[in-house]
Structure 1
């Protein structure tokens, strides 16, 4: 078999991937766009190239041997965005899992490593494929070496061979070095000859072949000004050529033979993909990251056909197994009760048939331990059983103890406690099209093992909560909140189906209208949803400037179109057409599909996903209804009260995270601003720009607002520059000025990082913990991300604690006041109720009272309330 080596430029490709994809986060808050893009590129290369040998070369540091020649080499380069820096360690981990060798060499660049290895490979008659985003490497092209340069994006690669270079530039690969010597390279700060661009450099080299020949025949150069520039910058031209020359004799300590590719470690890859949240890649691998099933200990249990009284004791673990993830629609397929005296599997039919079992389930004095109390409550409600006496929830306890884990099912939690005697659902039910409910013993045993795990792990989990000083968080906030959420989910939210259908019709008409206008502006009909056809219209027919290209043509992504908005009327219409199209398909049609026969939608709230403690909503996601577009806001018109003469009542915390920041940081100016009820964004603008209130412009306030909220999320100069459309330097100056104006905030951020380094975790106001072991990492990038996490988690997490406490207090107050009003939804910092009109006056009094006093801070909490005939009108 012939040898083929692939040599990849790690830094260059990671940069390409980062800037080609939008900023993505996994559920742990780690940015993953560069990792994902790099992985996609790597998988494609392995599949298409099938290398026998492979290496990823990295730049070793900022200083190279070239700096001795020119101190300013690569000077002026912007600092790597922290959002990218934090991803490099993960890319290196992935390469290890892929079984790919990596190499770096002090004083040398990745180019030199690649250049040296490619030369060795050529001598050994090995086929070489180089992949980079840096055109400097095209100088290495030869009969046996092809250089692939990524164009815009991550999948569009232009292949440079000697023939292609000849066709493109009229030069040989070696002359690429001379071309760089003359024209320079701004990205590497190679000066070249001022005023000589690519075209002039190529023309001169076609006539003189090399920089040396050119200067020997300088008097033959036509054009007085050009000749003068060449004369004046002779030393610079030779130096630039030297800087651009890849060193093919670097003192490497590895050889081509050591780079043999033996394949990836599938288990490690699955584990990393799972950690990073790359579900699509996991599915491509044909797995979901679960570990192989271990041998289970034998379990003795009884399958019962009649409920006896001695089965129903105090303090028992109970499992109500549902087959479908959406327990609102799934039936209970079996039950199990486990306690000190026995283990029992109970067919679900007995839930309807046994009055003794129903009485026990509804008996408050009989303590039950469960996994996922919310699911248990809702599933039984659908059976007409109002379970009471739930005293422990293993899923919620595990989440509080270790919020960074993923808790998709009980086996995940068991793993946290090193408990091995319970199976993953997939091993019992199968997956995909083959997923089914087994009959008999396998099903009975699986469900009983789950109940047994809850019974066995209850005390372990409670001890750990006590040790962490988190029993109060569990027993007085998260655990009781599950019951409130269960009630909200079961109640559901009434949807005006006719209004949604009407909106669908109105949007369709509006889309038709915009479509006609687009065709008119384009001068022809075409498929607006086809990027290929749209690209031809915009960039060929209408001649708009090309911003980015893809493998199949022109990029027409949202960020490209936004840059072209001022160029032509059609662009704004296309953006609007896309936005409305998404509203139509994702939200309006999406909601119409999930309306129940009772006219309601029943979402599911998850307590165990976000490490900050925030709730999330799924099937449907009612926290994500777009409100920026007027048409998006109008979707809320379809959410209505479920009873006649009732209204929707909304209560929204005002700037809760900034108020928490003021309380935690104790910054004097910030605390005073909230105590005096000032507009915080105007106040920030006054302090940062050093102007009086009347001189604060709307743009100043907008920038101040972006910084205020950005600080809460640990924003970097890169992130702020993207948000505000300003340079990173301007954004950095803005952040510096903010910290000068609010020194208490800066002091808090420095002290919380130090605290996290000492303890290994940070806490919220109600003792929610987030462990940050990476904060002591020797790797700068990993450590930097961990530091930002330490800064913002106490703020975001405390805000989540406060609104959860408000929900609990509110549910209790409605009960105490004997009101009919119901809590329906929690959307970020907002609570949504439905209420009889005659209770509105009472709600206006008690809702702000409860919410503003949920937790006592050194600054007042402020709640804005509205009500109306729909959710839209309550804003």
Structure 2
């Protein structure tokens, strides 16, 4: 059986992958989509071909012999996108790590190297497969040399295969004649001139008839059409040059050692490191299970029995340790303690080793530590008391500040990013098993995982703190993020009381209105249909009712919210459909969903996350209490369900226009600052100035439009976005924005500076030093760059507002405790704080809340706070 070699056209496949795979970046901000796509194509080819040899050829940047013949060769090509350019060296490193032979040579293109090596292999009796997206390589096809052209489609990668006979069948010419066709017709992508006036059809007909350019020229008088004859006669020299340019050189003086191209095990430890770094998690499954082994595990110890666990606690003497309970869904499986990099212990929970016993022992242990390290301080606080004065290091929060763009902060990411170590991840150890199942089926793997987490905590601690110092975020970490952990832990523990009966009544109210809307929608449509089916709804609106601007997609008409919102003012049925959608979502998410979240104590205990959003905002999950709709009356009414306990009231305080006030301060725009200092209606005064209307004559519509511009500017809105929001032309929107910047010139200067600074530094920054990387600004894609500019403008403002609300939360909590009040902070929703206050403390807490929120930051304008109280959250807001 013949040996087989696969030859890959490196730049061609990398380029195809880059445009075929959506943008991807790893946590370093490195673009990875081309590398990812290339490897997928390569693995697919290797799985199909099972070759004995493999080589990848790359182009060089130096001019080739073709450029010396014709200066303008490939002169029309656009420069390579920066996002692709940065992946070329990475691709080569990955291939080298896999032991794959790479070839490149000054003065020659990859095609020439592929053609030469293919010829060598064919002489040796080998089967050859050349992988390229470039059809020029079809000229190399023979009975032994197959050209494989991958095509990336929605359904995946499909590959067209061509031997010599397949080229004839598809193009009517042999592979060698294929060169002459290209020489006659030219090639705009390579800037091969060809013969003017001869296109693909004429070129093919000529070569089918005469087999070569030279023979066609020898039979000029026979050639039809006449124009082709004349053009070939006048431009024969150009046709010959084009043929030389189009011909792949198959005798490159390259020294190629076939044995060096022998395919060995690609899944090397070095390649594994690259897959981890590039975060190609699904590719890691191709590597053997022991690939991620290292010598750390000799320092890991697991104790199961009560006596050995007690001995561990009795003999514990360190002043610094990493501590974390390992739990999921309220079940504690054990406890990890790392006294040093070389002493990591996992203590299992079960039998005589109860959760209570572990908590008692850990409390003593923590009390004796000078420095407590943990991946989750908030989680630890559920089990033990840790005073705020304790020197605590939460490695997850530190890692989040250093890179807020990630979705999660796993121990293996921490090991890779901070320690430069590759350790087995949860997926490596447990596969897709849930923790409960893994505890039964893979207890040793589970124990290893927890030990690795404790190890990375203590090992990465110093470098995390050093990097926070280097990035000027240590103060942000010490004074805002770490104290905030205690605030959020208390809020989660307290929860908020919810009345089940009120919730049922609210659900019934929604059901009644939903039923009314259904009846009305069916009447207006003239038939019943499934309102929740976009396909059926599209047919009703755009075919039966003949509404304008219907956008047809593969699955039917688009009935997305933005499409319906544009129709709603003119079509009552569309307004009702939008309301129907909102109410059905309210019912499923809140009326039905919240009932499942009420704990036995009658309260809902949401989880507050501080490492989720890139701007620093706190988010809420299980359930999300920050997403309760407030724009529609029925949405606001859900707040009636939330009530204080007996003898208490709710006090709600809301920052007024905090982001606009932050913008006034950070931009230093004197007009905006003056407007706030005079305590005027900021939207009315903006309307007056933008629309050149006396203040007292400003209409409600003008104020509403000015409000949209005010808040839109904060979010870096474009004229297109504003035109959509206000249902005006783009030109009108451009006029509004131009007038706004004339009114507040300092804001335009400030926003432009934010973008310039972010481009230079690579990140945007809040008033308190929080950084938000903006890799999109370096993109060659206009849409991506525009998105990056909006981030650069918005992040410092939104992030600063988020920092201020966090400071306010910390100060409110600390003051309530310092003054030994019974009232508690129980909820935060963006710019709003909710306190469950003892009735006899109501007035004092109102004053306290307003004071602490107003003085959370020292701005050039006052931080205004609206404070109300009530018997439920609806009344208090």
TM-score of the two chains, using structure 2 as the length reference? 0.64
Larger radius of gyration: 2
Give CA-to-partner distance per residue, 1:719-748, whole Å, 9 cap, x none.
xxxxxxxxxxxxxxx9xxx99996777777
Shift of 1:5: 2.0
Q: Judge conservation of contact 2:267–2:286 (CA < 8 Å) in 1.
A: no
Aligned pair in 2 of structure 1 residues 704, 798: CA closer, same or farther (>3 Å)?
Answer: closer
Q: Which residue of 2 aligns with 1:71?
A: 72
Q: CA deviation at 1:767?
A: 5.0
Aligned residue for 2:188?
Answer: 186
Which secondary structure does the structure 2 equivalent of 1:472 belong to?
helix
What displacement does 1:490 show? 3.8
Structure 1 window deviating more from structure 2 (348-357 vs 19-28): it is 348-357
Alignment match, 2:140: 140
- Kindly provide the CA deviation profile for residues 755-794 of structure 1, in whole angstroms up to 9, marking residues without a partner as x: 79xxxx9986545679999x9xxxxxxxxxx999999998
Q: Secondary structure at the match of 1:6?
A: strand
1:160, 1:660 → 2: CA distance? 61
Cα distance in structure 2, aligned partners of 1:51 and 1:11: 21
Corresponding residue of 1:14: 14
Q: How does 1:655-670 map to 2 (within 5 A)?
A: none
CA shift, 1:296, in A, is: 3.2
1:192 deviates by 4.0
Give the corresponding residue for 2:398: 399
Distance 2:797 2:868 in 1: 26
Deviations 1:217-271 (A, max 9, x none): 365313x5x4488358735861674376142246454426132222224333333
CA distance in 2, matches of 1:203, 1:750: 57
Could you tell me how far apart the structure 1 residues matched to 2:628 and 2:253 are? 55
CA–CA distance in 1 between the matches of 2:419 and 2:176?
Answer: 60
1:296 paired with 2:301, answer no
2:43 corresponds in structure 1 to 43
Structure 1 counterpart of 2:784: none
Q: Which blocks of at least 5 consecutive residues in structure 1 are unaligned?
A: 524-543, 548-553, 564-577, 687-695, 716-733, 776-785
Matched residues in 2 for 1:750 and 1:483: separation? 37
Aligned to 1:551: none
Distance change (3 Å), C-alpha of 1:44 and 1:346:
closer
Residues 802 and 43 (structure 1 numbering): CA distance in 2 closer, same or farther, change over 3 Å? Answer: farther
**Which residue pairs with 1:379 in the alignment?**
382
Q: Distance in 2 between matches of 1:104 and 1:629?
A: 62
Q: Does 1:513 align with 2:512?
A: no
Contact 1:651–1:831, Cα closer than 8 Å, also in 2: yes
Deviations 1:364-405 (A, max 9, x none): x9967241353444532xxxx655457233333882699359
Q: Say if 1:299 and 1:164 are closer, same or farther in 2 by CA, change over 3 A.
A: closer
Whether 2:80 is the aligned partner of 1:96: answer no
- Label 1:849 to 1:517 Cα distance change in 2 as closer, same or farther (>3 A): same
Provide Cα deviations, 1:150-203, integer angstroms capped at 9, x if missing partner.
254594333232333333232222333333334433333444455554444434
Distance 1:641 1:304, change over 3 A: farther
Matches within 5 A, 1:712-731: none
Q: How far apart, in 1, do the equivalents of 2:750 and 2:395 lie?
A: 35
Question: Which residue does the alignment assign to 2:730?
Answer: none
Instruction: Describe the SS at the equivalent of 1:5.
Output: strand
**Contact 1:764–1:794 (Cα < 8 Å) also in 2:** yes
- The separation in 2 between residues aligned to 1:611 and 1:112, in whole angstroms, is 48
Q: Which has the higher contact order (CA 8 A, sep 6+)?
A: 1
Q: Is 1:53 the equivalent of 2:53?
A: yes
Query: In structure 1, how many angstroms separate the alpha carbons of the residues matched to 2:239 and 2:294?
Result: 61
1:389–1:13 distance in 2 versus 1, CA, 3 Å: same
Q: Distance in 2 between matches of 1:83 and 1:627?
A: 40
The alignment partner of 1:95 has SS state of helix
Residues 79-100 of structure 1 deviation map (CA, whole Å, 9 limit, x = unaligned):
4333433433433333233332
Residues 251 and 201 of structure 1: CA distance in aligned 2, closer, same or farther (over 3 Å): closer
Decide whether aligned partners of structure 1 residues 377 and 306 sit closer, same or farther in structure 2, where only a CA change above 3 A counts. closer
State the match for 2:543 in structure 1: none
Q: Which moved more, 1:385-394 or 1:3-12?
A: 385-394
* TM-aligned CA distance change 1:589 to 1:286, over 3 Å: farther
Is the Cα–Cα contact under 8 Å of residues 715 and 790 in structure 2 kept in the other structure? no
How many Å apart are 1:117 and its aligned residue?
A: 2.3
- CA 790–38 in structure 1, closer or farther in 2 if over 3 Å, else same: farther
- SS of 1:171's equivalent in the other structure is coil
CA–CA distance in 2 between the matches of 1:262 and 1:747?
54
2:220 corresponds to 1:217? yes
Q: 1:263-302 maps to which residues of 2 (within 5 A)?
A: 263-283=265-285, 285=287, 290-294=292-296, 296-297=298-299
Q: In 2 relative to 1, CA 282–104 (structure 1 residues): closer, same or farther, beyond 3 Å?
A: same
> Aligned with 1:180: secondary structure?
helix
- 1:46 aligns to what SS in structure 2? helix
Q: Secondary structure at the match of 1:394?
A: strand
Residue of structure 2 aligned with 1:164, choices 153, 163, 166: 166
Deviation at residue 854 of structure 1 after TM alignment: 4.1
The alignment's C-alpha RMSD in Å is 7.1
- State whether structure 2 residue 140 is matched by structure 1 residue 123: no
Question: Larger deviation: 636-645 or 802-811?
Answer: 636-645
Asked if the contact 1:595/1:601 (under 8 Å) is kept, the reply is yes
Give, in angstroms, the shift of residue 4 of structure 1.
1.9
Residue by residue over 1:251-305, the C-alpha shift from the partner in whole angstroms, topping out at 9 and shown as x without a partner, is 4544261322222243333333333333333345466985434353598999669
| Alignment correspondent of 1:26 | 26
In 2, are the aligned partners of 1:367 and 1:390 still within 8 Å (CA)? no
Distance 1:47 1:58, change over 3 A: same
Q: Say if 1:598 and 1:788 are closer, same or farther in 2 by CA, change over 3 A.
A: same
Residue 105 of structure 2: SS of its match in structure 1? Answer: coil
Query: Normalising by structure 1, what TM-score?
Result: 0.64
| Helix, strand or coil at the partner of 1:174 | helix
The whole-number CA distance in structure 2 between the counterparts of 1:87 and 1:504 is 55
Report deviation, 1:612.
Answer: 7.3
- Counterpart contact for 1:27–1:609, Cα < 8 Å: no
1:138 Cα shift? 2.3
Point out the more displaced range, 744-753 or 126-135: 744-753
What is the CA–CA distance in structure 2 between the aligned matches of 1:484 and 1:607, rounded to whole Å? 11
Using a 3 Å threshold, how does the CA distance of structure 1 residues 747 and 462 change in structure 2: closer, same or farther?
closer
| 3-state SS of 1:393 partner | strand
Q: Secondary structure of the residue that 1:147 maps to in structure 2?
A: strand
* Corresponding residue number in structure 1 for 2:256: 255
3-state SS of paired residue (1:188): coil
Shift of 1:844: 9.7
Query: Unmatched 5+ residue regions in structure 2?
Result: 519-527, 541-549, 564-580, 691-701, 719-736, 778-787
Alignment of 1:671-690 (within 5 A): none
TM-aligned CA deviation for residue 477 of structure 1: 2.0
Decide whether aligned partners of structure 1 residues 675 and 60 sit closer, same or farther in structure 2, where only a CA change above 3 A counts.
Answer: farther
Measured at CA, do residues 294 and 354 of structure 1 come closer, stay the same or move farther in structure 2, by a change above 3 Å?
closer
Partners of 1:849 and 1:159 lie apart in 2 by: 72
Q: How does 1:807-818 map to 2 (within 5 A)?
A: 807-809=809-811, 811-812=813-814
Asked if the contact 1:303/1:444 (under 8 Å) is kept, the reply is no
Contact between 1:401 and 1:464, CA under 8 Å: does it hold in 2? no
Matching residue within 485, 489, 494 for 2:488: 485
CA distance in 1, matches of 2:512, 2:50: 52
Q: Is contact 2:7-2:54 (8 Å) kept?
A: yes
On the 8 A contact 1:171/1:206 being kept in 2, the answer is yes
Return the match for 1:176 from 175, 178, 201: 178
Task: Answer whether contact 2:302 2:447 (CA < 8 A) is retained.
Answer: no
* Pair 613,202 (structure 1): closer, same or farther in 2 beyond 3 Å: same
The equivalences for 1:660-809 within 5 A come to 765-766=767-768, 801-802=803-804, 804-809=806-811
Distance in 2 between residues matched to 1:702 and 1:180, nearest whole Å: 57
Matched residue, 2:235: 234
> 2:475 matched to which residue of 1?
472
**1:206-225 per-position Cα deviation (integer Å, ceiling 9, x unaligned):** 33433344443365313x5x
| Structure 2 CA distance for partners of 1:417 and 1:49, relative to 1, 3 Å | closer
Q: Distance in 2 between matches of 1:22 and 1:618?
A: 29
